[in-house]
């Protein structure tokens, strides 16, 4: 899931300094789990904006904020409210904000959140970064644990000389990624696979921007 954190309310108000009326748009998926795009977050933002003298033309939590066509359909019942708004404040991730730029081509669109990373929710509103979306996954060779992301140095063949009692030299609060990989592969009987030397990563596969189109294969008759 995409991890977001709310910008300071005053920063949002400053961004909207030339806006009199705004529509608030949240997301029921990632942003809601982060507490940045949920109905409660929208209600809190509405209160802050109205206290600053802004008119909130309407609020809505989309099913999936980054889905352009789906959200556009969901917003049809709010056409009158949206027409009366000077801007749309998107309370989801950066992808959600840019999706609404496509939907509202002639209307101001602003984000209320900072987008941080792709993460796992380990417990409610506790998130760990475990994938860097590098475009070339190697965790089939590392016990399902990504050293590119979970090792602060991104070491592909570790551990480094700084590890101490299974902890990382960068911080005593961080477990050594390669110690975790070793322990897991020992449990699953795959330690022999650690003898394989991983080659340098091809970081050209992470170059931006990327476009991916999934084409259906034609059935053979």
Residues 135, 112, single domain; the answer is no
Structural domain includes residue 92: yes
Count of domains in the chain? Answer: 2
Q: What is the DSSP string of the chain?
A: -EEEEEPPHHHHHHHTTT-SEEEEEEETTHHHHHTSSSHHHHHHHHHHHHHTT-EEEEEEEESSTT-HHHHHHHTGGGHHHHHT-SEEEEES-HHHHHHHHHH-TTSEEEESEEEEEEEEEEETTEEEE-----SS--TTTTTT--HHHHSTT--SS---TT-BTTB-SS-TTSB-HHHHHHHHHHHTT-GGGGGSPPPPP-GGGG-SS----PPPPPPP-
Residues 84, 159, single domain; the answer is no
Residues 47, 105, single domain; the answer is yes
Query: Is the pTM of the predicted complex or chain greater than 0.75?
Result: yes
Domain boundary pick from 116, 148, 171: 116
Q: Which domain holds residue 181?
A: 131-201
Residues 100, 23, single domain; the answer is yes
Residues 110, 149, single domain; the answer is no
Residues 98, 154, single domain; the answer is no
Per residue in 185-214, pLDDT (tens digit) is: 999 999 999 999 999 999 888 888 888 888
Per residue in 14-71, pLDDT (tens digit) is: 999 999 999 999 999 999 999 999 999 999 999 999 999 999 999 999 999 999 999 9
Structural domain includes residue 219: no
């Amino acid at each position: 899931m995409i991890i977001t954190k709310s910008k300071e309310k005053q920063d949002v108000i400053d961004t909207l300094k030339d806006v009199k009326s705004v529509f608030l748009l949240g997301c029921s998926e990632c942003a809601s789990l982060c507490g940045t795009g949920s109905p409660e977050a929208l209600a809190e933002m509405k209160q802050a904006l109205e206290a600053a003298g802004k008119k909130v033309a309407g609020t809505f939590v989309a099913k999936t904020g980054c889905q352009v066509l789906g959200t556009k359909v969901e917003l049809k019942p709010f056409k009158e409210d949206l027409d009366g708004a000077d801007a749309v404040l998107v309370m989801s991730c950066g992808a959600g904000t840019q999706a609404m730029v496509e939907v509202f081509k002639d209307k101001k669109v602003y984000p209320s959140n900072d987008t941080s990373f792709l993460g796992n929710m380990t417990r409610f509103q506790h998130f760990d970064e475990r994938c860097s979306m590098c475009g070339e996954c190697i965790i089939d060779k590392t016990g399902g644990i990504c050293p590119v992301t979970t090792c602060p140095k991104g070491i592909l063949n570790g551990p480094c000389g700084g590890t101490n009692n299974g902890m990382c030299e960068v911080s005593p609060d961080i477990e050594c990624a390669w110690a975790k990989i070793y322990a897991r592969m020992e449990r699953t009987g795959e330690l022999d696979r650690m003898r394989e030397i991983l080659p340098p990563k091809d970081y050209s596969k992470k170059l931006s921007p990327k476009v991916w189109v999934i084409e259906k294969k034609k059935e053979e008759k």
